[in-house]
Amino acid sequence: MIRSNKKWMIFLLMITIGCSYFGFEPNEEKSYEPFGEIVQVNNQAIHIRVRGKGNPTVLFFSDIDMYGTFINWKEIQDEISKRTKTVCFDRCGYFWSDEGKLPRTGERISSEIEALLNTQGDAGPYLIVGHAMGGIYGRIFAGRNIGKVAGMVLLDPLNPQALERMKEVGVKKTIPSASMRPLIWLLLKLGIKNESLEQYGIPTDLYQVALAYYKKNSLTWFDETAASVRSLRQAELYNDFGNIPLHILTSKNAEQITSDREKLWIELQWELSGLSRNSKQTILEGVGHYIHLERPEIVTESIFEMIENYRRGTD
């Protein structure tokens, strides 16, 4: 036992020295105020930003990344809120929201969002807008609340079978093991540089906020990624959305996909149109994976169209 403890002490000392040598940075989180409000949900603090009035309520679901919901969707939320109610929320563990219970699966995340909306007195109807893995979370939320869903706009949504089938064309994604969490937690506590965070056209002031929360968000990124295969399997259980309007926006240039890869990527997303009998897919040329940041007007147009169609059908 003593030898084992000594090994851990030496290991921690080496990490600490390495962190000092490479100039890891202090935590800057407290220098930024929340963009929305902090609400208590089941003894957890959740960051939520609500704008606009009217039905349906537009809910934004971000990918597993370092930008959270608000930074990813700010421009689009501000525009959509001119016509209806919009809700951005940082999932547990991101930015001003408390860490959530593990594992961070889609079902758990959905239940947390349901509890959050309940505290706001918002019973829908909801228009789901999701990007990439946010499409998986949005799909699970919609499946659990199918009677309250007015429509879905999904941007490069992940097909639950994508990990396995993309291997056929040479695209392999490594999913980290949850057992590595203690080490990841330790490394993040000791510090880590932020230069690996790409800006993706995000305004500099918002980018600086993302840099400040890089360490906290990184652990949540790890937790959600480690649980992602379970989330994909959970999403497969929700495969019939009846006549709920569904619009899939597919980037032809996502992840530099070419030839067979491009064909399969488009096919995987086309298959998702089978979730609803009232669906369509739009393939976008010259637009990258972050469609909502590169061409926000395309996304807002799709959302506005769905809002107007919903209102005409309820008049």
Whether the predicted pLDDT of 26 surpasses 60: no
Averaged confidence pLDDT in the chain = 89
Lowest mean pLDDT among 187-191, 219-223, 271-275: 187-191
Greater pLDDT, 24 or 55: 55
pLDDT at 115: 98
CA distance 59 to 73: 10
Helix (H) or strand (E) holding 47, with range, is strand 44-51
Mean pLDDT across 279-283: 97
- Separation CA 177–CA 147 (nearest Å): 36
Q: What is the mean pLDDT of residues 251-271?
A: 78
Q: How far apart are CA 88 and CA 29, in angstroms?
A: 20
Give the pLDDT confidence score for residue 28 in this predicted structure. Answer: 66
| Cα–Cα dist 248/271, whole Å | 10
Q: How confident is the model at residue 1 (pLDDT cuts 50, 70, 90)?
A: very low
Query: In percent, how much of the chain has pLDDT > 90?
Result: 74
The amino acid at 259: S
Instruction: Give me the percent of the chain exceeding a pLDDT of 70.
Output: 87
Phi, psi of 249 (to 5 degrees): -100, 115
Least confident interval from 139-153, 162-176, 209-223, 233-247: 162-176
Q: Which residue has the higher pLDDT, 253 or 97?
A: 97
With CA atoms as reference, report the closest residue to 109 among 224, 216, 219, 217: 224
Rounded to the nearest 5°, which phi and psi values hold at 84? -160, 175
**What's the start-to-end Cα distance of the chain, in Å?**
73
Q: Give me the mean pLDDT over the 182-204 stretch.
A: 82
| Higher pLDDT, residue 192 or 154 | 154
What SS3 state is found at 121?
A: coil
Instruction: Kindly report, residue by residue over 34-53, the tens digit of the pLDDT.
Output: 999 999 999 999 999 999 99
Band of residue 258 on the pLDDT scale cut at 50, 70, 90: low
**Which domains are seen in the chain, by residue range?**
2-314 (3.40.50.1820)
Residue 304 clears pLDDT 90, i.e. is over it? yes
CB 287 within 8 A of CB 295: yes
pLDDT above 60 for 306: yes
Higher pLDDT, 191 or 201: 201
Query: Is the pLDDT reported for residue 20 higher than 50?
Result: no
* pTM across the whole model: 0.89
Is 60 exceeded by the pLDDT of residue 210?
Answer: yes
Q: Tell me, what's the pLDDT at 69?
A: 93
pLDDT at 172: 86
Q: What is the pLDDT of residue 27?
A: 54
Which pLDDT band, with edges at 50, 70 and 90, does 17 fall under?
very low
Residue 194 reports pLDDT greater than 80:
no
